[in-house]
Structures are given as C-alpha cells and as structure tokens.
C-alpha cells in the first residue's frame, strides 16, 4: 500500500457523534493515520451541515455546448461547488465514508455529493463502450450502519447501497472499495457488540496495525 498524504473523510449521518457509521469511520481514519502519521485529513460532515443539491445553473451548463464557457465556474450556482468537491476527491490518496443505510440505499445528502462529483467531461468521459472514468483509482473505505440486517444469514431487507456505490465509483475510475457493514444496530446491545467485533476484525485484516521496529540494544559503556 502506497504512502497516504491526504485523506478525505466524509460522513453522512444526521446522528453526529451518536452515529455508528460516523464513529467507525473515525476508527478507519485513525488506523490510516497510524500507518501514515503525516497524512492530512479533510473532514466533510455532510450529515450535520448538509450539502446543497445541484441547481439550475449546473443543469443548463451540462446540457449546453461543450467545452464550457471560460467563466463557467465564476457564475452563481452549484457548478463551482461541484468543482471544489471533485478537486477534493482528486487530491485524496484515500477516502473514508461513514454512512447510514436509509431506505435500502444512501441518504439524500450522500446522493447530493455523488451528483456533484459525477460530472460528465470532468470525472467521467464517454467511449463507444460506455462511460469511462477520468479519475485515478484509490482506496475507499466505507462504514455502513443499518438498523436491520442486509447481508448474510437471516437477511430481511434488500441492499441497494453496496452495488450502487460500486457502480458510482466505477463510473469515475475508482474500483478499490472496502465495505464495513455495521448491521442490526437497533437489535440491542449484544447485536451492536457483535457488529462492532465483526468490523474491528475486518479492519485488522484490511488495514493491520503497523509493526514497530524494535530499538537496538544500547551499546555497553567502555571501561574507564
């Protein structure tokens, strides 16, 4: 795994510090920092501060002629916001996302971020075979919390979140995705403890703690 200089940390839960997905995503960031202590973390807590959806200016610009006008990013509207978010993603050597599962898929605020960063001619292009990602691949670690179970035995609800995010990131050229499922978080303390044990074990497999090199034994003092 190459050295990580920049980490983009996105959270999408309205529950803030009470959020299972947010708290475990912090654990992932801590593990990355343990491996690369000099990394810079850019934090975007969209679950609390929100993120405006793309607007009319954005839509008209993308539907208009190409290339865009030279002053497109200077005009009022969400196109400049889209560019800032794409630049943040491009600058990140690793991305960490903490998100709940809302109604079988991503919450609307994470969907807003996706709508900003999936932009034709900027983060993806076109070929006769379909869309082509224009961003370099990088690891994306996604902590997903759900009140019920959506994978494994006894699953009672569908999972549209995982395949959707896989398709989203693949569209822009990112395929190195790692999911950490925190399931059945409303099923009581034991279910939560079991979920946490599972994702901690998964974290240890995917991002093991660095091995510290032992210090050399001190040289014996020479006799006077």
Q: Report which DSSP code applies to 179.
A: E
Q: Report which DSSP code applies to 151.
A: S
Query: What's the chain's length in residues?
Result: 224
- The mean per-residue pLDDT over the stretch 21-46 comes to 98
Is 20 labelled as part of a ligand binding site? yes
What residue ranges in the chain does DSSP mark as E strands?
6-11, 40-45, 94-100, 124-127, 130-133, 140-145, 177-182
Predicted pLDDT at 136: 98
Q: What angle do CA 85, 91, 97 make, to 5 degrees?
A: 65
Buried b (16+ CB within 10 A) or exposed e, 97-120: bbbbbbeebbbebbbbbbbbbbbe
CB atoms within 10 A of CB 125: 12
| pLDDT tens sequence across 139-175 | 999 999 999 999 888 788 999 999 999 999 999 999 9
Of 35-44, 62-71, 194-203, 214-223, which gets the smallest average pLDDT? 214-223
**Can you state the angle between helices 79-91 and 108-117, rounded to 10 degrees?**
90
Is 19 labelled as part of a ligand binding site? yes
Report the C-alpha gap between 212 and 203 in whole angstroms: 18
Predicted confidence (pLDDT) at residue 103 exceeds the cutoff of 70: yes
Q: Which CATH class is domain 6-206?
A: alpha beta
Write the DSSP string, 88-119.
HHHH-SEEEEEEE-BTTB--HHHHHHHHHH--
Predicted pLDDT at 215: 61
Residue among 180, 181, 163, 179 at smallest CA distance from 171: 163
Q: What angle do CA 85, 95, 180 make, to 5 degrees?
A: 130
Each domain of the chain, given as residue ranges in start order, spans 6-206
Predicted confidence (pLDDT) at residue 107 exceeds the cutoff of 60: yes
Is 126 labelled as part of a ligand binding site? no
Predicted pLDDT at 60: 83
């Amino acid at each position: 795994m190459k050295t990580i200089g920049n980490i983009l940390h996105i959270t999408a839960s309205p529950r803030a510090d009470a959020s299972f997905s947010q708290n475990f995503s912090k654990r992932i960031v801590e593990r990355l920092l343990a491996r690369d202590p000099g990394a810079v973390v850019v934090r975007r807590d969209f679950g609390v501060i929100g993120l405006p959806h793309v607007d009319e200016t954005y839509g008209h610009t993308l539907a208009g002629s190409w290339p865009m006008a030279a002053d497109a990013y200077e005009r009022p509207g969400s196109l400049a916001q889209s560019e800032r978010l794409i630049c943040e993603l491009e600058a990140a050597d690793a991305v960490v996302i903490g998100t709940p599962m809302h109604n079988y898929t991503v919450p609307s605020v994470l969907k807003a971020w996706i709508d900003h960063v999936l932009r034709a001619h900027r983060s993806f292009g076109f070929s006769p075979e379909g869309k082509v990602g224009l961003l370099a691949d990088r690891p994306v670690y996604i902590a997903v919390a759900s009140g019920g179970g959506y994978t494994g035995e006894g699953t009672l609800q569908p999972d549209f979140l995982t395949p959707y995010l896989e398709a989203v990131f693949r569209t822009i050229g990112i395929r190195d995705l790692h999911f950490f499922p925190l399931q059945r978080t409303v099923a009581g303390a034991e279910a939560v403890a079991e979920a946490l044990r599972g994702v901690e074990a998964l974290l240890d497999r995917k991002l093991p703690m660095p091995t510290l090199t032992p210090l050399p034994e001190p040289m014996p003092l020479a006799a006077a």
